[in-house]
Chains A and B, each alone.
Chain A
Amino acid sequence: MQASIKKPRRSPLFWAQLAFTLTVCAFLIVPVFMSMTAGVTLNYMTGVSGGLTTQWVEKVLTDYRGPIVLSLELAIACLLCTLLLGIPAAYVLAKRQNAFTRAIEELLVMPVAVPGIATALALIVTYGGLGGFRTSWLFILVGHVLFTLPFMVRSVLAVMSSIDLKTLEEGARSLGANFTQRFFGIILPNCRSGIIAGSLMVVTLSLGEFNMTLLLHTPLTQTLPVGLADTYASLRLEVGSAYTLVFFVIIVPLLIAMQWASNAVSQRKRI
């Protein structure tokens, strides 16, 4: 590492690789910027020179207000569920490492391994008959919780396995702390980084979940990504772009925070 900083002369191979990597980066980032500008241009065919407007964004915010609000509510509800279910589960998996808990871990990732459309179909053939449940947003919430729970469990479990849980707990116990005090006073604060990373992941994935939601939703419980697909299919490019812009404004800060959180975790590991 030090050597490469001292040596300012780069080989042609370095420049070739840099050019290649920049091309890959352009492939990923250019369409993001294109859609963001398209969302605020008056007419995409004439380009930015034709004038800028907020009319498309305004149209999206009025026409798709319901789906956007529902998605935000779903993401928060999903986060609460995964926190309540996932942290205790991760604690058990960290405390007991045997064939049984490994099997549970395997099972837990299945909703991610099995395509969302299959899980959604399974939920519909089993609970689709329960009219009130089928048409409520709770039906979507169940799918989102199944899909995001493994990410919360794994994220928290990774931190729990890297700290010396046993010594910490024994220390607290010898000082007279009961289980509740230990759990909230010792375990949770020590897993903070894992909980934060897991939470960001859960919210991001819930906000963007489409594969399951397309089958689980009803006309009255449309979510943001389902609405996105709707605009892509039937409305002009500017409206689709404006809606994507709204989505990016919500999701990109979360993704950046996620990178920041995972850097913090890996730096801690290195120390």
Chain B
Amino acid sequence: MRERIQLAALMAPGAILFAAFFLLPLAQLVVIGGSGKLGWSAYWAVFTEIRYLKSFGATIALSIAVTLFTLGVSGIAGVFLERNRFRGRALLTAMLTLPLAFPGVVIGFMVIMLAGRQGLVPDITDLLFGERLVFAYSMAGLFMGYVYFSIPRTILTVMAAAEKIDPRLEEAARSLGAGSFMVARDVILPALKPAFLAAGAICFATSMGAFGTAFTLATRINVVPMVIYTEFTLQANVAMAAALSFVLGGITWAALAFARSLSGSSVAASG
């Protein structure tokens, strides 16, 4: 009994702060979402009004594209790094995971460095084709930025999963005459599937909720966090911003809960 009180006392400060500054405000957000001039149908408007629907559609499409591309790239690089030992491997891994906690704004600036008006890609295309290809301030730039911040943590997840693959499985497959392609398709990929699903869900959720990158690149791109920001600051439509936030939060939370149910641990900071 005494121990119980002791444990409760240890938990209490965190619990009180959490309840007062997260649970209560979140409940308040739900109420505010239903208190605008639309009333509770503000939540309905999220799914019916073409402007919001388009924005959700674009954000979901972008996030799925980013997820698939990142999984492909990180899958190849992660498996390669885990299964080969060569000089400079540690340094290469360190560099690939360095941007793990870069904030979204800085990643937006990295995209500007690569594909902005004075960027590297336009310089190269100018050299090759005599035309400057600037795409930083569009959906393509956003795609590039989201891939940038998704690669480091996806590579880490893939490497951790690839480490656990039993090398005897591959030896058995090879002794039965399987080539590299068949080994990859029938041994490595199935073994990595749970890690891929978990990493994919995290990647999807962070792309849905990412704000800093979009904020840096362009205010014209209508991804959902950007719409929430403009509704709140420019339109002063707090209720609609709240309703949109709640729906967006529901989607990202569900995706991450799915990832956690697969891997057990998956906290990821969004860009």
- A residues whose Cβ falls under 8 Å from a Cβ of B: 1, 4-5, 13-14, 17-18, 20-22, 24-25, 27-32, 34-35, 38, 44-45, 84-86, 88-89, 91-92, 95-96, 104, 106-119, 121-123, 125-127, 142, 145-147, 149-151, 154, 158, 179, 201, 204-205, 208-211, 214-215, 225, 228-229, 232-233, 237, 240, 244, 247, 251-252, 255-256, 258-259
Contacts and interface: CB of A to CB of B under 8 A. Distances in A.
Interface of B: 6-7, 10-11, 13-15, 17-18, 21-26, 28-29, 32, 73, 76-77, 80-81, 84-86, 92, 94-106, 108-114, 118, 120, 148, 151-152, 180, 205, 208-212, 215-216, 225, 228-229, 232, 238, 241-242, 245-246, 248-249, 252-253, 256-257, 260, 265, 267-270
- Which 6 pairs between the two chains have the least Cβ-Cβ distance? A115-B209, A208-B103, A118-B245, A122-B25, A88-B10, A114-B249
Given A24-B73, A28-B148, A85-B17, A146 B29 contact: no
A17 B209 contact: no
Contacts of B25: 119, 122-123, 125-127
Contacts of A4: 84-85
A30 B253 contact: no
Contact of A44 (B85, B118, B241, B249): B118
Given A28-B95, A35-B109, A109-B256, 14 more contacts: A21-B76, A25-B95, A32-B110, A34-B120, A88-B13, A114-B209, A125-B32, A127-B21, A179-B6, A208-B101, A210-B215, A214-B212, A251-B101, A258-B100
A30 B245 contact: no
Contacts, number: 246
A46 B141 CA distance: 25
Contact of B109 (A30, A201, A240): A240
